[in-house]
Amino acid sequence: MATNENTALSAAKTQGGQKMDMLRFATAGSVDDGKSTLIGRLLLDSKAIFEDQLAAVEQSSQSKGFDYTDLSLLTDGLRSEREQGITIDVAYRYFATPKRKFIIADTPGHVQYTRNMVTGASTADLGLVLVDARQGLTEQSRRHAVILSLLRVPHLVLAVNKMDLVDYDQATYDKIHAEFTSFATKLAIPDLEIIPISALKGDNVVVRSENMPWYEGQSLIHHLENVHVASDRDLVDTRFPVQYVVRPKSDDFHDYRGYAGMVAGGVLKPGDEVMALPSGLTSKIAGIDLHEKEIAEAFPPMSVTVRLEDDIDVSRGDMLCRPANAPKPSQDIDAMVCWMTNEPLRPRQKLAIKHTTRSGRALVKDIQYRLDVNTLHRDQETKELGLNEIGRVQLRTTVPLLCDPYSKNRTTGSFILIDEATGTTVGAGMINSGT
Amino acid sequence: MTSTHADYRLSQLDQLEAESIHISREVAAEFEKPVLMFSGGKDSIVMLRLAEKAFYPAKIPFPMLQVDTGYDFPEVLACRDNWVNRLGVRMIVASVEEAIANKVVVDDGKTSRNRLQIGTLLHAIEEEGFTAAFGGGRRDEEKARAKERVYSHRDEFGQWDPKMQRPELWSLYNGRLHAGEHMRIFPLSNWTELDIWHYIGQEGIEIPSIYFSHQRRVFERDGMLLSESDYNPLKPGEEVTERTVRFRTVGDLTLTGCVESPAATIPEIIDEVAASRITERGATRGDDRFSEAAMEDRKKEGYF
């Protein structure tokens, strides 16, 4: 543990340095796969858990009659969860090593909580799926991989946990490895790593385990620290959804007019010719501001304010792109939708839709099929989507969406559906194409 | 102009800043009447700084709301006034004293000022008709907060229902409300305590002087070091001594303890925080120590 302590300290000190970046990952697995134990260990070993938090957990472990410290109690935060002994929602955790800051979206694995996993995966750079070495791949682990692939999470780690309970047996690992690799060929998973670990004993979590000399890969933390995420963004196709128009109308900035937003794709530079959608009017970038600084370029996911040379009409919901590389404004949207509420989604239903900074209404024209996330079977008989189901849906929108396929851009390719009566978010959509 | 980024990478602070600015702008664009809840502490100052950046060179397009417990540190109020004057933002002060006088909340002599803040705050939000209230809460602070959304929906009673939270995907925030409801907005959700300190250092942000090491007359109560003050009458056996201390959080001075510390600069504070083995709230906040679920209960009632 001594080395871990040093790591944690230097992590904290170097945080904020220019070289340190951030990795968001989503974890999936059931209570029994030891996911909470693994997260507890990551937090503990990186010193993200404090003495008072640990003391509280030790106390509750004791009062429950356990003879060990139940690290899962560190993460199962809400009282209702502690009472039921399950995790009911997405929880976010934070830890850092000298190289990276990590944000974990911790989602429960039960079948009824697909929506939570979709939520957690939507912002993740990497998905971490746990399996119990004794059980091997289950329907659930396949489902998790399918969801991560649908959400286009570019990196996947399969952690084969509880290796200590199979005597660190290589054959067990090899079997799971072969089975999963073959399954993954059907999915969109550009980067896959399969790591044998014991979250409880710490094997291959922070340092490589001496119990598994046959494993030649890296420890989990080492992989998380080094996985290359910079290329996951689209730095080619310029997409700048306008969020807010900054007009100070003050004496010092009388004529200032800036378009504020977060870069969704490409690299913007002063002098670049840009086209505003949906108007199609063109201008040049006069300058890019980040608070008081004028910057030379802006790229995802920077929040900046863009000034144009000409006074063309641009407002919230519009998008700046390059004249020769623009998304086609579309009102007929073909998308995969994950349904998140009890009342099923049916054809002819009307919903509110939010896509980038645009809001409008959407009519469900057709539900083409329901995807069985366990078998990848497309069920074309069902004409509705129930809670936690995913299917291919055709929508007609009141406003044209300035969209790209989700496989190209996770920001301009995604939308949410909102129930107009309750105001709740009821669906998450990933665009295949817009016409 | 700053130089070209060779590898198009952003540090974690730049990423967090970009995300928080994005959230502030979404709220300004989509809500009719937002307000920024300001406690005077480092987190709400960072939140204010991010709002300043989000709308620059325009002024922040919403007012600030502070709940005055009547037991605030004078250093904190002085710092607040500097910020308000520099940014030219409208400041609304909701006083707990007044709320007690107007019977909006009941002071039974046993309830802490921090708890009375809840009723005072909800009353102020209702009175002014605010539809979105920014708060400086971070998810790393406490277990109950780990599941908090960036947009956290509150019903007509200002209550938080952890089981009824809206799913929050990508950077698409759903701000739909019914009459009487409002949204709490947490732009610092993904920041940790260390991120906050590094950002304060990087940006040279002004924070109240009590965060830095200083000499103070203090006494011990329930294992905490409290400041000598007219609001803090000594109980038998309590003894005042002068020590070198600093505060890790700021709040009601009858409940907010300080720690003995020589850390007088941001780098020294960062080293101290990094080496610390106790959370900021666990160390110095009497109001969070009563039960494991103390924060969850207060959140449900409408606490920040």
Residue B4 falls inside a structural domain: no
Region of poorest pLDDT, from A23-27, A203-207, A424-428, B2-6: B2-6
The nearest CA of chain B is from the CA of A428 a distance in Å of 8
Give residue A328's pLDDT.
87
Interface membership of B291 toward A (CB under 8 Å):
no
Residue of A nearest to B12 (CA): A21
Interface membership of A70 toward B (CB under 8 Å):
no
Q: Domain-by-domain residue ranges, chain A?
A: 2-232, 240-321, 329-434
Same structural domain for residues B54 and B180? yes
Same structural domain for residues B200 and B173? no
Residue B7 falls inside a structural domain: no
ipTM of the complex in this document = 0.91
Give residue A115's pLDDT.
85
Same structural domain for residues B19 and B109? yes
Nearest 5 degrees, angle CA B226-CA B232-CA B233?
Answer: 125
Same structural domain for residues B40 and B136? yes
Give residue B159's pLDDT.
78
User: Is the domain covering A240-321 a CATH 2.40.30.10 domain?
Assistant: yes
Q: Which residues in chain B have Cβ-Cβ distances shorter than 8 Å to A254?
A: none
Window 115-134 of A: residues touching B by CB (8 A cutoff) are: 115-116, 118-119, 122-123
Nearest 5 degrees, angle CA A232-CA A236-CA A239?
Answer: 95
Answer yes or no: do A78 and B22 touch at CB < 8 A. Answer: no
Residue B6 falls inside a structural domain: no
User: What integer best gives the mean pLDDT of chain B?
Assistant: 86
Same structural domain for residues B184 and B135? yes
Give residue B29's pLDDT.
98
Contact B122, B165 (CB under 8 A): no
% of chain B at pLDDT higher than 70: 86
pLDDT of residue B293 exceeding 80, the answer is no
Same structural domain for residues B57 and B170? yes
Answer yes or no: do A357 and B13 touch at CB < 8 A. Answer: no
The mean per-residue pLDDT over the stretch B49-70 comes to 94
pLDDT of residue B114 exceeding 60, the answer is yes
User: How would residue A375 be classed by pLDDT, with cut points 50, 70 and 90?
Assistant: confident
Q: For residue B289, which amino acid is it?
A: R
The mean per-residue pLDDT over the stretch B228-249 comes to 91
- What fold is seen in the domain A2-232? Rossmann fold (3.40.50)
Give residue A112's pLDDT.
62
pLDDT of residue A186 exceeding 70, the answer is yes
Query: A140-181: per-residue pLDDT in tens?
Result: 888 899 999 999 999 999 999 999 999 999 999 999 999 999
> Which one of A98-112, A181-195, A347-361 scores highest in mean pLDDT?
A347-361
Give residue B285's pLDDT.
56
User: What's the domain range around B242?
Assistant: 196-288
Query: A404-426: per-residue pLDDT in tens?
Result: 999 999 999 999 999 999 999 99
Give residue A2's pLDDT.
35
Helix (H) or strand (E) holding A226: helix A220-226
Same structural domain for residues B236 and B124? no
- Considering only CB atoms, A123 lies closest to which of B10, B170, B174, namely B170
Give residue A13's pLDDT.
42
pLDDT: which is higher, A15 or A196: A196
The mean per-residue pLDDT over the stretch A308-331 comes to 95
The mean per-residue pLDDT over the stretch A296-318 comes to 96
Q: Which residues in chain B have Cβ-Cβ distances shorter than 8 Å to A297?
A: 4-5
- Considering only CB atoms, A424 lies closest to which of B21, B166, B201, namely B166
Give residue A69's pLDDT.
65
The nearest CA of chain A is from the CA of B304 a distance in Å of 17
Same structural domain for residues B154 and B268? no
Q: Which residues in chain B have Cβ-Cβ distances shorter than 8 Å to A92?
A: 139, 146-147, 189-190
**Rounded-to-integer distance, Cα B76 and Cα B209, Å:** 8
pLDDT of residue A288 exceeding 90, the answer is yes
Give residue A87's pLDDT.
46
Mutate to test the interface with B, among A78, A93, A240, A297 (most CBs of B within 10 A): A78
Q: Considering only CA atoms, which of B158, B151, B69 is closest in space to residue B122?
A: B158
CATH number of the domain residue B156 falls in? 3.40.50.620
> Which one of A97-111, A305-319, A371-385 scores highest in mean pLDDT?
A305-319
Q: Label residue A127 left, alpha or beta by phi (over 0 means left) and psi (-120 to 50 means alpha).
A: beta
Same structural domain for residues B112 and B253? no
* Domains A240-321 and A329-434 in one fold: yes
The nearest CA of chain B is from the CA of A168 a distance in Å of 34
> Which one of A27-31, A84-88, A294-298, B140-144 scores highest in mean pLDDT?
A294-298
pLDDT: which is higher, B237 or A244: A244
User: What integer best gives the mean pLDDT of chain A?
Assistant: 88
User: How would residue B298 be classed by pLDDT, with cut points 50, 70 and 90?
Assistant: low
Nearest 5 degrees, angle CA B161-CA A337-CA A334?
Answer: 145
- What fold is seen in the domain A329-434? Elongation Factor Tu (Ef-tu); domain 3 (2.40.30)
Q: Considering only CA atoms, which of A45, A51, A46 is closest in space to residue A98?
A: A46
Give residue B5's pLDDT.
55
User: How would residue B282 be classed by pLDDT, with cut points 50, 70 and 90?
Assistant: low
Give residue A187's pLDDT.
92
Residue of B nearest to A24 (CA): B190
Give residue B276's pLDDT.
74
Residue B2 falls inside a structural domain: no
The mean per-residue pLDDT over the stretch A28-38 comes to 78
Give residue A113's pLDDT.
75
Give residue A8's pLDDT.
39
Same structural domain for residues B175 and B270? no
Q: Which residues in chain A have Cβ-Cβ distances shorter than 8 Å to B296?
A: 77-79
Q: Based on the structure, what is the number of domains in chain B?
A: 2
Residue B152 falls inside a structural domain: yes
Window 348-377 of A: residues touching B by CB (8 A cutoff) are: 352, 354-355, 357
Residue holding tokens 């090491």? B213
